[in-house]
Amino acid sequence: MILPDHEIKKLLKEGRLRIEPLDDPENQIQPAWVDLRLGNEFVVFKVTGTPYIDTRKETKGYSEKITISEDRPFIIHPGEFVLGKVMEYISVPDDLVGSVDGRSSLGRLGIVVHTTSSSVNPGWDGHLVLEMANVGKMPVALYPGMRVCKITFHKMTSPAEVPYSKRKNAKYKNQMEIVNSRMHEDTDVQDS
């Protein structure tokens, strides 16, 4: 079951669900989701002499963090893949699952927002990191503060037994800034 606007508002008022700051609830809270805004931090990937990214090793030297001023655009070029952070801090209760999706208005310009892993675990908290790509033919200006994606909330039949916040191997718990892939920490890709 997807939560409608009035249930989202109720959970926010009770403090069970946190989305902060929610500066424009009239525009951000839609009938079945909440629009989230783009922050001003990005991670861009560099072209290097390394022949490939090894998923068993930490990804150092492949990317660069960029912070832009609030009044400047971030230009995403055709074929470019970047990580971006939403402005809002989100805390999901143990009995809800979030689902992140891009906005169709940006999709119609060739911008794919959050290309994989759209689910937000019960008990997760922090700033969502978006995986964004320009699959169009023209560069596109993205501005801090613009509504860039949406999050829906799905009610579970009962709270998670071990929510994300209580998992020992939770790689992106309390995420406050853009964190590069921690794939190398997965036990199924480690050397035997």
- The verdict on residue 140 lying in a domain is yes
- The verdict on residue 92 lying in a domain is yes
Instruction: Please report the pLDDT score of residue 191 as a whole number.
Output: 46
Total domains in the fold of the chain: 1
Task: Give the position of tokens 């008022």.
Answer: 13
| Reported pTM | 0.84
CATH for 24: 2.70.40.10
CA neighbor of 190 nearest in space, from 41, 80, 55: 55
- Beta-bridged to residue 159, according to DSSP, are none
Phi and psi (nearest 5°) for 19? -140, 105
- The verdict on residue 175 lying in a domain is no
Dump the DSSP string for 47-68.
Answer: P-S-S---TTS---SSEEEEE-
pLDDT one-digit tens code per residue, 67-90:
999 899 999 999 999 999 999 999
- The verdict on residue 27 lying in a domain is yes
Residue 21, domain extent: 5-47+62-161
Which amino acid is located at 154 in the chain?
A: H
Instruction: Please report the pLDDT score of residue 48 as a whole number.
Output: 79
Our measurement of the distance from residue 61's CA atom to the centroid of its chain's CA atoms, rounded to an integer in Å, reads: 22
- Beta-bridged to residue 82, according to DSSP, are 44, 132
Taking residues 17-31, report their average pLDDT: 95
Phi and psi (nearest 5°) for 82? -135, 160
- The verdict on residue 112 lying in a domain is yes
- The verdict on residue 71 lying in a domain is yes
- The verdict on residue 174 lying in a domain is no
pLDDT one-digit tens code per residue, 101-146:
999 999 999 999 976 778 899 999 999 999 999 999 999 999 999 9
Active site residue 131: yes
pLDDT one-digit tens code per residue, 1-21:
999 999 999 999 999 999 999
**CB-side exposure of 11: number of CA atoms within 13 Å?**
23
Q: Which two tokens stand for residue 111?
A: 């911008």
- The verdict on residue 53 lying in a domain is no
E strand or H helix that includes residue 86? strand 81-91
CA distance 104 to 186: 33
- Beta-bridged to residue 134, according to DSSP, are 111
Task: Give the position of tokens 């964190």.
Answer: 179
Point out the catalytic residue in the list 7, 41, 58, 131.
131
